[in-house]
Structure 1
Amino acid sequence: MIEAHPGSATVVEADSLTTLRPAEWEPLQAAHVARVDLLLADHLDRRRRREPHPVEDFLFTYYPTRPNQLRVWHPGPGIRLLGAPQYEGKRGYLYAGGAAQLDPDEIARRTESISWIRALLTATVGRPAQFGCFGLHEWAMVYRQQSEEVRHSWPLRLGAEGTDRVVESHKIACSHFDAFRFFTEPARPLNVLQPTREAQPALEQGGCLHANMDLYKWASKLMPFTPSSLVLDCFELARDIRALDMRASPYDFADLGYDPIPIETAAGKATYAAAQRSFAERARHLRVRLVDLCNQLLPL
């Protein structure tokens, strides 16, 4: 998994690494920074204005990776960068002889974490995707709540009683622990599964919106080993899924430009499932790339 494309550049092979000179890797770094700045421009503008956004802020409040961390370019395994003193002393890098590369000792220190992520992603890739949840996890998070308890200060599209009726008239089948843990107490017994952190590798499946958003989390947790292009591909997927998740939620975000998907109707269910399948296919490719990365770091 090499982000740089040595076939289009003059390279120096040494010790099984592809060594890039500054004239070769600096344009790759600049392209990455430009991509990040474009992706984050609206968020950073709102942050400067102290203007919260209930949909897009999720990627920066729920997930721990900060914008300045995303701007740091990581070439990934198998690459040595000549003349890159900015990586000296940076965690995960070994800087010697005027060149930077990933530190094998850091990989060894994180073996347990890398192995756990690989096991989770591998199990998910091998499990059939399910498309019958219709985003009801968000509805279960506000089930029977008082108005002052609802997380977002936005109106419920069907009101509290209408929202509760949707939950009670559907089968709730959430397989994702980090969604299930936000269910209200009355909603938890209604779920056909009772996910736990320990059971996560046995339950997670590739149709789940939250499992697919979490590819951004796993790509970030594997930094600096993850090529930055892969991190941003996962970020873009998570951003797009978040929009679907909120359009299908009980909240009314129409004033923000998010047309509701009424999953309480047959047409809404069909729209949601079609989008879910498309995201699952995008996620499958990214999940395989992350498994390949883990296998590079820790050969089987």
Structure 2
Amino acid sequence: MDLTASRPASLSEEQWRTRAAAHEARVDALVGEHLARRQAGVKHPVHDFLFTYYSFRPAQLRRWSPGWGVRLEGGADLEPGADLLESRAPLVESTRRLLAATAGRPAHYGCFGLHEWAMVYRLDETRTRHASHPLRLGPEGTDRVVESHRIACSHFDAFRFFTEPARPLNTLAPTSADRVEFEQPACLHAGMDLYKHAFRVAPLVPSELVADCFELARDIRVLDMRASPYDLAPLGYEPVRIETPSGKQEYAEAQRGFAERGQVLRAELLVVCERLLAAVAGAAV
């Protein structure tokens, strides 16, 4: 396949070096505190998730790429190669299908972050994921919140961490094989996973877009844990008390804002995926 014919855009050396430097500075600001904590051996219940659950390392996030279809004067070694595009085509197609399905589905705002509560349901506090941080309502109070709400988690990578007693309480049963049928644009985890979808296709995706998705994931994660059953107030995270009417309203309003931001980035990723697939299809003709 000749995939080089579809690469008309170009950047002068000054242009791309300016973009690369700006991207590196932006990422340094985003990950600096994490790197300092890691060097000091300090764990963080909110932000470590972005570097443990997601497999993209800070150095990888910092590495700039123009994405597919851009020639760099004096920087050909930074241009993603045709072989990479061809090998990633199946991943790009599966990503495109998931993004399109999620974007076209109605947004639902009634989950209230109960997935985090279901992950500790009927669990001894010493066995929770963040055992060094107490449950805000204690084990019994946490269990009552779970039992008194309708749980409708649509995201498999949240549902799979439910405790065994909590799994039957979910009104849905998502699996790893049917994400396209379940994921919806207001889901916090679907919003955070835009970062995963972007970096898995990198460096075919412009690095600025990957960083945009990382920043969204970082902001969503804060809400995710503020609405969780853990007491993180000593770390400066005041709780969103989703067990109360006012807390539910606060959560849904924030969720709506993240859904809107996510849909914009989802649309940008879709455009990139479709352009990549068009390049592959055009080269095959």
Measured against the shorter chain, the TM-score band is over 0.9
Relative contact order: is structure 1 or structure 2 higher (C-alpha 8 Å, sep ≥ 6)? 2
Q: How does 1:105-254 map to 2 (within 5 A)?
A: 105-152=83-130, 153-254=132-233
Q: Distance in 1 between the 2:79 and 2:161 partners?
A: 41
Alpha-carbon displacement from aligned partner over 1:127-155 (angstroms, at most 9, x marks no partner):
00100000000000000001221110210
Residue 15 of structure 1: how far off its partner (Å):
6.7
Q: Partner residue of 2:57?
A: 66
Scaled by the length of structure 2, the TM-score of the pair is: 0.94
Q: Distance in 1 between the 2:256 and 2:10 partners?
A: 40
Residue 230 of structure 1: how far off its partner (Å):
0.5
Q: Partner residue of 1:4?
A: none
Alpha-carbon RMSD: 1.3
Which residue of 259, 267, 272 maps to 1:293?
A: 272
Q: Distance in 2 between the 1:16 and 1:172 partners?
A: 48
For the Cα contact (< 8 Å) 2:125–2:134, is it kept in 1?
no
Aligned residue pair count = 274
Q: 2:227 aligned with 1:273, yes or no?
A: no
Residue 101 of structure 1: how far off its partner (Å):
2.7
- More strand by proportion, 1 or 2? 1
> Secondary structure, in 3 states, of the residue corresponding to 1:110?
helix
Residue 24 of structure 1: how far off its partner (Å):
2.0
Change (3 A) 1:296 1:254: same
Change (3 A) 1:32 1:184: same
Mark the runs of 5 or more structure 1 residues left unpaired by the alignment.
1-13, 88-99
Residue 251 of structure 1: how far off its partner (Å):
0.2
Q: Distance in 1 between the 2:165 and 2:12 partners?
A: 60
Which residue of 29, 47, 58 maps to 1:38?
A: 29
Q: Distance in 2 between the 1:54 and 1:101 partners?
A: 37
Q: Distance in 2 between the 1:34 and 1:263 partners?
A: 37
Q: Distance in 1 between the 2:79 and 2:129 partners?
A: 44
Residue 20 of structure 1: how far off its partner (Å):
2.1
Percent pairwise identity: 59
> Secondary structure, in 3 states, of the residue corresponding to 2:31?
helix
Scaled by the length of structure 1, the TM-score of the pair is: 0.89
Q: Distance in 1 between the 2:104 and 2:162 partners?
A: 27
Q: 2:262 aligned with 1:283, yes or no?
A: yes
- More helix by proportion, 1 or 2? 2
Residue 55 of structure 1: how far off its partner (Å):
0.4
Residue type at the aligned position of 1:144: R
> Secondary structure, in 3 states, of the residue corresponding to 1:59?
helix
Q: Distance in 2 between the 1:24 and 1:183 partners?
A: 48
Residue type at the aligned position of 1:149: R
Q: Distance in 1 between the 2:34 and 2:51 partners?
A: 9
Q: Partner residue of 2:235?
A: 256
Q: 2:73 aligned with 1:82, yes or no?
A: yes
